[in-house]
Amino acid sequence: MSLPERLRNARELKGYTRQKLAEETGIALSSLYFYEKGERIPSADVIQKISKALNVSTAYFFEEIDTLEIPKPNKLPDFVKEQITKIDELKSLKLSEKLEIIGNELIDISKKIKDFE
pLDDT digits (tens, 9 = 90+) for 26-48: 999 999 999 999 999 999 899 99
Of 60, 44, 59, nearest to 10 by C-alpha is 60
End-to-end alpha carbon distance in the chain: 53
Residue 68 maps to a domain? no
- Residue 11 in any domain: the answer is yes
Among candidate residues 35, 61, 87, the one where a domain is terminated? 61
CB atoms within 10 A of CB 21: 21
The answer to whether residue 17 is domain-embedded is yes
Q: Give residue 69's pLDDT.
A: 54
Question: How many C-beta neighbours within 10 Å does residue 25 have?
Answer: 19
Residue 72 resides in a domain: no
Considering the domain architecture, whether residues 57 and 84 belong to the same structural domain is answered as no
Give the other-Cβ count within 10 Å of 68's Cβ: 16
pLDDT of residue 109: 85
Given pLDDT bands bounded at 50, 70 and 90, which one contains residue 72? low
pLDDT score for 71:
52
39: domain CATH number? 1.10.260.40
In this prediction, residues 107-115 reach a mean pLDDT of: 84
Q: What is the pLDDT of residue 1?
A: 78
Domain hosting residue 87, numbered range = 78-116
4 vs 34: CA distance, rounded Å? 9
Q: Are residues 87 and 52 in the same domain?
A: no
Same domain? For 7 and 43 the reply is yes
What total number of domains does the chain contain?
A: 2
- Domain match, 84 and 50 both: no
DSSP letter assigned to residue 56: -
